Amino acid sequence: MLGEFEQIAQIMAPLAQKAKGAFGLKDDAAVFQVNSGDEMVVTTDTLIAGVHFFADDPAETIAHKLLAVNLSDLAAMGAQPRYYTLNTSYPSEVKLDWIKQFANGLKQMQDEYGIILLGGDTTRTPGPLCLSVTAFGCVPERQALKRTTARVGDLICVSNTIGDGALGLLVAQGKIEDKSGHLLKSYRRPIPRTKLGPKLVGLATSCMDISDGLLSDFGHMGVGGEIDLAKIPLSPAAQQVLAEDSTLFPTILNGGDDYELLFCIDPKDKDRMLDTGETCDCQISVIGRITEGYDLVVLDETAQKVDIKTNGYRHF
């Protein structure tokens, strides 16, 4: 096993080559500039084995998810990804080959999403594998998208499909089957909407990413709303699961791990929004509207109220 500094020099430093201010990961800290007229958006997420992923998941998929969840936060604020720092706490069973595969997964994400490693910290732990990323992105000054700025009458929209990640967890647990492989892939390799997010600046009235479940996360917008169940977009794989067991619909709505964007727009901007989705190669669906007050009402296909829980994933 390589020592801490040898790991940094041989495995992690190549990931920082494109960041001049990373200084080859040889200094105490990194330096970077923000373009004139931009603001810096900062987010951080921690993933722990046995909580956010399975300890025997492939190292490359863990790396993918670690960066994806942070990139999703940047997208929700309308920010373009720039840099990230990485803190790793490895238990003794993590070997050098695993770390190399993990670094390869990080490189694949860097190449795809244009984000670069700036630095971090590497430690041992007697506990489970613990990985933490702090990501930095840029957004035009005073134009960052926020969660709590939706207005009465706005349309409620989501990107792509909902529930695949939550159902993918059930596949990973051996509780359901998915011969297509789509659901497990969605759980392990969520796709952050980094193209769509920045395009929503000046278009969306509010925005956030869906990490803990559609209905639960809507509550963080601080407004009332009506959501039409029949308009919630589902993948063919999710539709097949529901056809076999309709009791899993609450899992789709509240299970989390979607990492899609939940946002609102003025009704007059609907066509522009749909064009934006096509430009970003991302399906967008209108699933409801913002109403007076703070209550969320869920409607069935006959516009009747459905009594459904809105408690998504929580750590505590």
CATH number at residue 108: 3.30.1330.10
Residues 11 and 114: beta-carbon distance below 8 Å: no
Is 287 contained in some domain? Answer: yes
Does one domain contain both 210 and 184?
A: yes
Specify the pLDDT at position 58: 97
Q: Is 152 helix (H, G, I), strand (E, B) or coil?
A: coil
Specify the pLDDT at position 69: 98
pTM: 0.94
> Roughly what angle, to the nearest 10 degrees, separates helices 164-172 and 236-244?
60
**Taken in order 147, 200, 140, 66, is the CA torsion positive or negative?**
positive
Question: Is the pLDDT confidence value at 76 over 90?
Answer: yes
Does one domain contain both 14 and 70?
A: yes
Does one domain contain both 206 and 120?
A: no
Does one domain contain both 187 and 119?
A: no
Does one domain contain both 162 and 200?
A: yes
Is 136 contained in some domain? Answer: yes
Residues 257 and 187: beta-carbon distance below 8 Å: yes
Q: How many CB atoms lie under 10 A from the CB of residue 48? A: 16
User: Per mean pLDDT, which range of 19-28, 76-85, 117-126, 260-269 is the poorest?
Assistant: 19-28
Specify the pLDDT at position 313: 63
User: Per mean pLDDT, which range of 25-39, 148-162, 184-198, 239-253 is the poorest?
Assistant: 25-39
- Backbone dihedral angles phi then psi of residue 240, each to the nearest 5 degrees: -65, -40
Ramachandran region, residue 15 (left: φ > 0; alpha: ψ -120 to 50; beta: rest):
alpha
Please identify, among 106, 140, 174, the residue that sits at the C-terminal boundary of a domain: 140
Specify the pLDDT at position 30: 86
Does one domain contain both 120 and 193?
A: no
Is 150 contained in some domain? Answer: no
Does one domain contain both 19 and 109?
A: yes
Is 149 contained in some domain? Answer: no
- pLDDT confidence band for 296 (50 / 70 / 90): very high
Does one domain contain both 81 and 16?
A: yes
Specify the pLDDT at position 315: 59
pLDDT tens for 148-171 read 999 999 999 999 999 999 999 999
**Taken in order 135, 148, 191, 127, is the CA torsion positive or negative?**
positive
* Distance of alpha carbon 308 from alpha carbon 169, whole angstroms: 21
Beta strand spans in 91-233 (E): 116-124, 130-140, 155-159, 204-210, 224-228
- CATH number at 258 reads 3.90.650.10
What percent of the chain has a predicted confidence (pLDDT) above 70?
98
Does one domain contain both 167 and 285?
A: yes
pLDDT tens for 256-287 read 999 999 999 999 999 999 999 999 999 999 99
Beta strand spans in the chain (E): 38-48, 80-90, 116-124, 130-140, 155-159, 204-210, 224-228, 260-265, 284-291, 296-299, 305-306
Please identify, among 140, 172, 188, the residue that sits at the C-terminal boundary of a domain: 140
Does one domain contain both 46 and 94?
A: yes
Does one domain contain both 88 and 120?
A: yes
Domain region containing 18? 4-140
Is 107 contained in some domain? Answer: yes
Please identify, among 107, 140, 173, the residue that sits at the C-terminal boundary of a domain: 140
Does one domain contain both 159 and 297?
A: yes
Q: Is 125 helix (H, G, I), strand (E, B) or coil?
A: coil
Which structure tokens are listed for 302?
């006959």
Q: What does the radius of gyration of the chain's CA atoms come to, in whole angstroms?
A: 20
Domain count, the chain: 2
